[in-house]
Chain A
């Protein structure tokens, strides 16, 4: 199959979830009361909204991740042709990886990787 397989698997996934949820909706019992629909918080009455600010540390890691992920994308075509190109490709990738390694060391030195 060609790339139409993607359409097929998309349809299959949607079909699976729709069928399963509609079976549940048809046969499952339904009884509702206000307490049941509260967000679960250890059984006590939930206090406030959950959509609040969260720790900035996660954001820092996401930014560093972005840089390295783009790097991985650049390295994929290199990895495929490395065998044929030999020394030239090796030296180029070495320079690229050393620069990124310095970037990682810089982030490390700035304590961006420290969790506090």
Chain B
């Protein structure tokens, strides 16, 4: 197990030795800010590329393959293009709210990324209510969507935004109730680092019996809905709403929404990995000591990224498998199926924990 507090501590000590206290604090803030901003932007670039490439493979075509090797720089070129595009707004829009909307989405996404443990002690904001903080902050994003749709003064945006907020707030219940709370019951803590540490004997997905598996399935479904992806992408249903809530945004302002959407997908996958799949812990197979020993040599962040990529791939797979639902079908699925299932599942999980039937 690689302890990253040694590295961060060493950097801190080195900085303390060459400059006064205030300088250390400012330098560390700048460092963390730059690292997270770079990670944030890079994540957007890679995920958009991956999405298009995977879409290509699912449809028996190549996807982007011209810019750079295997089209890897396609999204970089797209970003440059989006930066240099004219910002066309509308004269009817409420311009203050129109410009304010992207801030909500981007800041909510960034703050959620702060509490994710990427490795042992490798977390920007180690807080004892990490999971609760994550749920709270990620639901602020819906305000951005609602503001964007409302302030554009466009009928498509308006419909998209209202639908989006209906879906997001509805699915948040199952996300919080069944999936996350059921796992908190097992782990007995909300600190994300401690949740990972509690899975050293095995991932909660396997140790939590059937309730954990139900919770995982519900989490993946609700996670897809939370990030506004197909089959729940009524917010921006191309065939009926044009682009939904960001129809009136162009150039880099559109890119903010796009970026936030893809980073949200990463965040949902990261929660799934942290809570169900053992976070940054390596894969261990019982009684295979040699194999386990080799796996221990691979650093935590790499394990974290591998697992997250697999969950992201599943979310992208959904997109090319399920047709889009109607709004009434979406709400029926949540309120008449997922929510009762979540309630019963939570009781089941509490019973399992009370009886101590955990492996």
| Chain B stretch 246-274: residues in CB contact (< 8 A) with chain A | 247-248, 251-253, 255-256
Please measure, in the bound complex, the distance between the C-alpha atom of A31 and the C-alpha atom of B253, giving whole angstroms: 17
With contact pairs A23-B83, A76-B184, A94-B347 given, residues A51 and B153 touching in the complex (Cβ less than 8 Å): yes
The answer to the question of A106 belonging to the interface, with a C-beta cut-off of 8 Å to chain B, is no
The residue that A37 contacts in the complex, of B32, B90, B189, B251, with Cβ under 8 A, is B90
* Chain A interface, >50% SS class: helix
Tell me how far the C-beta of B267 lies from the nearest C-beta in chain A, rounded to whole angstroms: 13
Tell me how far the C-beta of B194 lies from the nearest C-beta in chain A, rounded to whole angstroms: 11
The residue that B106 contacts in the complex, of A17, A41, A71, A108, with Cβ under 8 A, is A17
Chain A interface residue bracket vs B:
35 or more
How many A-B contacts if CB must be within 8 Å? 205
* Residues in A whose Cβ lies below 8 Å from that of B150: 51
The answer to the question of B309 belonging to the interface, with a C-beta cut-off of 8 Å to chain A, is no
- A75–B181 contact, CB under 8 A? yes
Binary CB contact string for chain B from 332 to 350 against chain A (1 if under 8 A, 0 otherwise): 1001100110010011001
With contact pairs A5-B125, A8-B32, A39-B90 given, residues A58 and B111 touching in the complex (Cβ less than 8 Å): no
Please measure, in the bound complex, the distance between the C-alpha atom of A72 and the C-alpha atom of B93, giving whole angstroms: 36
Binary CB contact string for chain A from 15 to 38 against chain B (1 if under 8 A, 0 otherwise): 111001101110111110010111
The answer to the question of B192 belonging to the interface, with a C-beta cut-off of 8 Å to chain A, is no
Q: Which residue of B lies closest to A65 (CB)?
A: B169
Please measure, in the bound complex, the distance between the C-alpha atom of A75 and the C-alpha atom of B28, giving whole angstroms: 37
- B87–A28 contact, CB under 8 A? yes
- A82–B155 contact, CB under 8 A? no
- A5–B124 contact, CB under 8 A? yes
- A50–B158 contact, CB under 8 A? yes
A-B contact sample (9 more), CB < 8 A, given A1-B126, A50-B155, A87-B354: A1-B32, A9-B111, A13-B103, A24-B251, A36-B88, A39-B92, A39-B152, A58-B162, A113-B335
Task: List 9 tightest A-B contacts by C-beta distance, closest first.
Answer: A115-B328, A13-B107, A5-B125, A37-B91, A79-B184, A39-B154, A83-B188, A24-B252, A12-B33
